[in-house]
Amino acid sequence: MRSTTVDASLLEACLTAAIAAPSIFNTQPWRFRLAPETVTLQVLAAPERGLRHMDPTGRALHLSVGASVFNLRVSVAHFGWHAVTRLLPSPDDPELLATVRLTGPASRPATGRRGDLYEAIGRRHSSRFPFSGRPLPPQLCAELTEAAHTEGALLTFPAVAETDRLLRVTAEAEHRNRTDHDRAAESRRWIHRDPDALTDVGLPQTALGPQDAHERLPMRDFTAQRHTERLTARPFETKPVIALLTTEHDRRADWLRAGQALQHLLLVATVHGVRTSLLHQPMEWPDLRRSLSSTPGLMGHPQMLIRLGYGPDGPATPRRVAPLDTGPTGLRGD
């Protein structure tokens, strides 16, 4: 039986994978702590990097942390270990969102049949650029749906008429965000205006992407300029592929599951050379979020709109170094 003592290099590789997860505005609202006596990685919220106006309930923060937890699970399995993951393990510690305990050699990957997700972690980037319009193969859509289902969420690919409706809702949310003073200011705070700025959070100008010249796809204007005529515009795909991620319930644990489901399907898409970007704007307005469901109250709780297609890689965004708090007993090595 292999000892559950692990060395620092394995933990460092797992944390490098964890921080590569997507997060709203690249806020990276997570912290990590090691309980050496049980070889347990604790994943905690970093509320100081939350969005007070756009995410007052912390729902998007939980999705971001859930995506990070999924990357931890993938990396632990990649290095041949079995892990037991618990969500919200301590009601007395609301910032402790998940634990990943390494328990010994893995008999099979903890995230399902795929063994190619780890390599995709470093290649996955949001691409806010025009896609070719080439349709996704039905088999791939089924595989993405299964990835979400594995994590306890539902992924649907709406028909053309419903896609149009969802995009109209997203456009309304984008308009509200641009014209709301507090939200516009909050958005601009996370944008790097200086290309040489040494910062490890937020979004560089190169990652923002253009606007749709035909105004069909409501891409987020992170700069919240309010004057669309001043934004760089290019023609986008005329038949965008949009998927809606929902959960049956809408509790904190469901938000974390949705984050894991989101990252699982994003990595599967990356393996197949499919680019993705996230249309989160309607999730930031309670009335618009409710309206995303064609049958409110019966079709689950919307958690994310995802745009998928074939096109250019999105540029990488910076990442914070993730120091691991090992507590007073330190880290055990082999």
> How confident is the model over 35-61, as pLDDT tens digits?
999 999 999 999 999 999 999 999 999
Average pLDDT on 10-28 reads: 96
In terms of DSSP bridges, do strands 96-105 and 40-45 run parallel, antiparallel, or are they unpaired? antiparallel
- Residue 99 and residue 329: Cα distance in Å, rounded? 18
Q: Give percent above pLDDT 70 in the chain.
A: 88
**Contact between 186 and 60 (Cβ < 8 Å):** no
- What are the Cα distances from residue 222, in Å, to 171, 178, 270, 318? 14, 9, 24, 16
What pLDDT is attached to residue 333? Answer: 32
Whether 196 shows a pLDDT value over 80: the answer reads no
- Per residue in 88-118, pLDDT (tens digit) is 999 999 999 999 999 887 665 544 556 899 9
53 vs 117: CA distance, rounded Å:
34
149 has a pLDDT exceeding 70: yes
Which tokens go with 216?
């069909």
Q: Which one-letter amino acid corresponds to residue 14?
A: C
Distance of CA 50 to the CA centre of its chain: 14
Alpha-carbon distance 94 to 295, whole Å?
32
226: number of Cβ within 10 Å: 11
CB 142 within 8 A of CB 120: no
User: Domains in the chain, start-ordered, CATH in brackets?
Assistant: 8-122 (3.40.109.10), 138-309 (3.40.109.10)
Q: Determine the residue type at 261.
A: A
228 versus 303: which is more confidently predicted? Answer: 303
> What is each CA distance from 3 to 33, 79, 85, 130, 332, in whole angstroms?
21, 14, 19, 49, 11
Distances (CA, A) of 167 to 48, 63, 132, 158, 244: 31, 21, 18, 11, 11
Q: What confidence category does residue 323 fall into, taking pLDDT thresholds of 50, 70 and 90?
A: low
- CA-nearest of 234, 299, 308 to 278 is 308
d(Cα 233, Cα 211) in Å, to the nearest integer? 5
